[in-house]
Amino acid sequence: MNIVLIGLNHQTAPVELREKIALDSCEPVDLYQDLKRLKCVEEGICFSTCNRVEVLVTTFETVDQAIDEVKHFLAAQNGLQPRDFEDHLYVYEAQEAVSHLFHVVSSLDSMVVGEPQILGQIKASYRDAVKNSSSGVVLNKLLHKAFSVAKRVRTETGIANHAVSVSYAAVELARKIFGKLSGTKILLIGAGEMAELAAEHLLHQKASEIIVANRTLERALVLAKRFKGQAVVLEEIPSLLVKTDIVVSSTGSPETVVSSEMVRSVLKARKHRPLFFVDIAVPRDIDPNVNNLGNVYLYDIDDLKGVVQENLSSRADEAVRAKRIVEEETIKLMNWLETLDVAPTIIALKEKTEEIRNAELKRTINRLGELSEDQIKAMEVMTQSLVQKILHDPIMFIKNFGHHDNKDDYLELTHKLFNLGETFDQKTDDEDADQG
């Protein structure tokens, strides 16, 4: 069986193409019905995020056949032709496919190394595949192992301990000031990508309320709905500052959005509660003089970039350790996969010896006459133990076939040596006929 992974990501394809080929809008039921119709696919899972689209399959056909069918599958989902995107695809098979998956789930292949969202996204994709009966023995084992690898990476390295995006750095600074962000009220000024990322991180820290203020109310409504918040217009900002704990501003305004006087006017009503501003807009949205007010903290994009640069080198060091964990776990998984080819032979050998044991035990009990239940149980345990000990070395020898170039030759020899295509009763009947 071959494992094949086909996809494109932020490193191989521009965002314009990733948008066209994304699978987010496809209903999982329809998506997996189409995937399972492919002749070459035994099991399959689709991953689709803003930065990548990948299809992971197992197949008994050639890798080239799998690639061709999956290309046409991706094209059909989005009304494209394979030629529209095939130059941007990467293909991994066998150990490389496993290693790539482990890198992705551990966030070593992300645009921001160590970001936590990818693990949740792939778990959701796996749930869809299971729900639609598209994942079987191999991919179940592979995905569960991938999740445990991601856990090892996060537990044994500090790869996720340092903020390496401006939005995440902003939230980390807020957390240091407030101690914890659970229950805090957030005001997002602007509804662009930076504000969206900040909102995701804040919700992860269990912020209780998010209000989105934007010049265009329509855009504010879209973002507020996504984060179960409230949408307002910019003119409502002064009244909102009274109850807000954290303000993240990222508009495209050429002028200041929040003035020093605006903030000063609400301080008395706030009763000395700290107010935290993060200004990630260029030009700046928040008057720098705000920082001179009591219990008010202001960080602009330059402050945050310094934090990000410092933390990038820390993550790079941790990534080296994380990649070693991925390599180690990839080898373990491949060892398990290689035993799958020999599993039917091991099962056949166990079944045949169990058949012989049962037949001989039955004959012996019949010849001995009446025996107590304890005596029969003792003979049962003794014969089982005897067979297990006799089979131990042959089974270990067969398992090692998975790592051998001449695996098929050894398996054929084992079948001939133990007559695994023939039942014990058939063999006994033949021997009796010969003797007769």
Q: Which candidate, 65, 21, 31, places its Cα nearest to that of 133?
A: 31
Identify whether 50 is a catalytic site residue.
yes
3-state secondary structure the chain: CEEEEEEEECCCCCHHHHHHHCCCCCCHHHHHHHHHCCCCCCEEEEEECCCEEEEEEEECCCHHHHHHHHHHHHHHHCCCCHHHCHHHCEEEECHHHHHHHHHHHCCCCCCCCCCCHHHHHHHHHHHHHHHCCCCCHHHHHHHHHHHHHHHHHHHHCCCCCCCCCHHHHHHHHHHHHHCCCCCCEEEEECCCHHHHHHHHHHHHCCCCEEEEEECCHHHHHHHHHHCCCEEEEHHHHHHHCCCCCEEEECCCCCCCCECHHHHHCCHHHHCCCCEEEEECCCCCCECHHHHHCCCEEEEEHHHHHHHHHHHHHHHHHHHHHHHHHHHHHHHHHHHHHHHHCCHHHHHHHHHHHHHHHHHHHHHHHHHHCCCCHHHHHHHHHHHHHHHHHHHHHHHHHHHHHHHCCCHHHHHHHHHHHCCCCCCHHHHHHHHHHHHC
Q: Which of 26, 40, 46, 50 is catalytic?
A: 50
For strand 52-59 and strand 43-48, is the pairing parallel, antiparallel, or unpaired?
antiparallel
User: Cα dihedral angle (231, 232, 238, 242), rounded to 10 degrees?
Assistant: -30
Which active-site residues does the annotation give? Answer: 50
